[in-house]
Structure 1
Amino acid sequence: MLIAQVTDIHLGFEPDNPAEFNRKRLDQVLKQLKSMVPKPDCLIATGDLTEFGDADSYRRLKNAFAQLDFPVWPMVGNHDIRANFAAHFPDVPGHDGFVQYEFDAGPLRVLMLDTLEDGRHGGAFCAVRAAWLTARLDEDRARPTVVVMHHPPVEVGIEWMNTHPEEDWVQRFRACVAERSNIVAIICGHLHRPITTQWEGTTIAICPATSPQVALDMSPIDPERPDNRPMIIADPPAFALHWWNGSELITHFDTAGAHVMLAQFDAKMQGLVRSLIAERPA
């Protein structure tokens, strides 16, 4: 099972430009995903699909996804507006007004969570959403399950983008997933960087953005003293691939576009490939 992930598309950042920079970056990633062998079984789009939550940006996003020949499962982030999202993605299930649902991914069960709170940049996870997640997890305590959400529930060291581990919503989410041995990964976006960590007995994998990335700067920041540090950088558009090997979920991060090739599988490399494969059990 191969699940592709894109996140933080921020379509509509240039609202009067149908050929905007962020759309070009998204198209680069989608083109690469379409040409992959093997092809992804599905794509998850983990929030901040648009910059302003406007209807036209969701229309253009839906048109962009239409070029794919595998299912796309989107969710909302803090830049999204649920009503406009729902109008253009009416087939995406919801619960009590939240974009929260599950789908089958072959051997995996995927639970998509809504961590949007209007007017807040950081995450949220209220009692209603927590009750839904708890009920879904209680339904099946054995099947390998992936939890997907926009906001990571962890502090990552980039101070201006951090989530404080004692925030109420983090504590509520932690209570839902604690001691759930069948959760094989928590997949997130929001931070515009590739990050992994261990948390509550599972792996958190945070995908970099298709839009520009957040600069890696872990020095303290004083909100009252601008210091001209880089914040957003034009690194290449990126994506993640989550591969279920039958017992573990393996996450790869990559960027779209050409990569400089230093070696290829030709006669010179054939001996190495043969010897590496021969070392494995039959």
Structure 2
Amino acid sequence: MATLRILHLTDTHLHGDDSLHYGVVDTESHLRMALQRVADRPFDLVVCSGDISEDGSVASYELVRDILDPWAAERGARTIYAMGNHDDRGGFREVLGEGQPGVPVHTPAAASPLQPPSSDGQPERPVVSVTEVGGWRTIVLDTTVPGAGYGELSEEQLDFLEHAVQSPAGHGTVIVMHHPPVRAETDLLQALALDERSADGLWDRIRDTDVTAILSGHYHHPIVETVYGMPVVVAPGVTNLAAAFDGRTEESANDWFGAAVVEVSAERTRVLPLSEPATGDEVFRFNAEQVGQIIEAAGRQ
């Protein structure tokens, strides 16, 4: 398998009931529309890079599993899931395990003492895993900070990553993480972005390794940026399309669905974004004052 064919989904924001995102968007319908749009294409991986759930319910994770796992299996593909800032580690792990169901994975040995305790009083370890299948190594990282919208990577995760990529895999390595290690296009998203320390730590540990692509989400619009020769692919959100050209101080999104078709090999990475209107209507619009209030409440202090 010298070329890895990936359907990259992100920000599905599924509910465990019939709730609508922002009272407007049927996120399950959006997911099914995205799958239908690429149903005739072959894939080796179906990746969902975070914000899988909107409400953190077990039912929402069961829904994504029941939609994506059979769809992937019909094509001989496997699924990979990563935590996003809207996700809940308990519900996620109960249904999706360590993010790479169906294959043996390696995970960090211990939880970070900085994580809040789970229901049994033990620290709740981030959802992190690595495996190698068909010569391709896939690594799931957890950039989430419980209760916050912005992202971080603990030193434990960065050390785990460094160890995982010490030697090359058969064909290469793909990393899946929610918060992209590249800057955002708006003030709001930058306030909720991955912190600079984490991004620098990640690049320090994977520079000059066999990492061939980093798959991310969070921004709800497509970006492809190459850093040290490694492409970061930010897929369009399944749930809506965020405006990238309306200026940095405002934030808005329209009723579109999206995904990205990614082909990775040792020689090249090809990204074909999918972004199409459902109704095309505006989902929300926040002016500069509203954005400032959100940043004050949810941004990094």
Into which bin does the TM-score normalised by the smaller protein fall?
Answer: 0.7 to 0.9
Match of 1:210 in 2: 238
Q: Is the 8 Å Cα contact of residues 140 and 177 (structure 2) preserved in structure 1?
A: yes
- Judge conservation of contact 2:135–2:170 (CA < 8 Å) in 1: no
Q: 2:287 aligns to what? A: none
Distance 1:145 1:195 in 2: 20
Q: 2:70 aligns with which of 67, 72, 75?
A: 67
Please name the residue that 2:290 is paired with.
none
TM-score by length of 1: 0.78
- Once the two structures are superposed, the pairs formed by residues 1-282 of structure 1 within 5 Å of their partners are 1-12=4-15, 16=19, 21-33=26-38, 35-37=39-41, 39-68=42-71, 69=74, 70-90=77-97, 92=101, 93=105, 94-95=107-108, 96=110, 97-104=125-132, 106-140=134-168, 143-162=171-190, 167-180=196-209, 182-217=210-245, 219-221=247-249, 229=250, 231-234=252-255, 236-245=256-265, 247-255=267-275
Q: What is the DSSP-based 3-state SS (H/G/I as helix, E as strand, rest coil) of the residue aligned with 1:216?
A: coil
Distance in 2, matches of 1:171 and 1:87, equals: 32
**What's the CA shift for 1:169?**
1.8
Number of residue pairs aligned between Structure 1 and Structure 2: 247
Contact 2:243 2:251 in 1 (8 A): yes
Superposition deviation, residue 14 in structure 1: 6.7
**1-side partners of 2:167 and 2:215: how far apart?**
21
2:29 aligned partner, one-letter code: K
Q: Contact 2:140/2:175 (CA < 8 Å) preserved in 1?
A: yes
d(CA) in 2 for partners of 1:218 and 1:142?
43
Worse-matched range after superposition: 5-14 or 76-85:
5-14
SS at match of 1:255: strand
Please give the root-mean-square deviation of Cα atoms over the aligned residues, in Å.
2.8
Identity of aligned residues (%): 21
- Cα pair 2:143 2:152 within 8 Å, conserved: yes
SS state of the match for residue 224, structure 2? strand
CA 1:123–1:165: 2 relative to 1, 3 Å: closer
The structure number with the bigger radius of gyration is 1
Structure 2, unmatched stretches of 5+, are 111-124, 279-301
Give the 3 Å change call, closer, same or farther, for CA 230–115 of structure 1 in structure 2: closer
Question: Is the 1:116–1:124 Cα contact (8 Å) retained in structure 2?
Answer: yes
Q: Is the 8 A contact 2:45 2:79 kept in 1?
A: yes
Structure 2: distance between partners of 1:165 and 1:116: 9
Distance in 2, matches of 1:159 and 1:123, equals: 15
Distance 2:158 2:94 in 1: 25
Cα distance in 1 between the residues matched to 2:160 and 2:265: 29
CA contact (8 A) 1:111 1:147 kept: yes
What's the CA shift for 1:257?
8.3
**Distance in 2 separating the partners of 1:116 and 1:15:** 26
| Cα displacement (A) at 1:141 | 7.2
Unaligned runs of 5+ in 1: 222-228, 259-282
Q: Which amino acid aligns with 1:233?
A: N
Instruction: Write 1 or 2 for the structure with the bigger share of strand.
Output: 2
Q: Which moved more, 1:120-129 or 1:84-93?
A: 84-93
Taking the aligned partners of 1:249 and 1:195, their CA distance within structure 2 comes to 14
1:48 alignment partner, SS class: coil
For residues 116 and 239 of structure 1, the distance between their equivalents in structure 2, rounded to whole angstroms, comes to 21
Provide the C-alpha distance between the structure 2 equivalents of 1:189 and 1:217, rounded to a whole number of angstroms.
18
- Checking the alignment, whether the CA contact within 8 Å between 1:154 and 1:162 is kept in structure 2 is no
Question: Aligned partners of 1:4 and 1:49: how far apart in 2?
Answer: 15
**Contact map agreement 1:126 1:172 (CA 8 A) in 2:** no
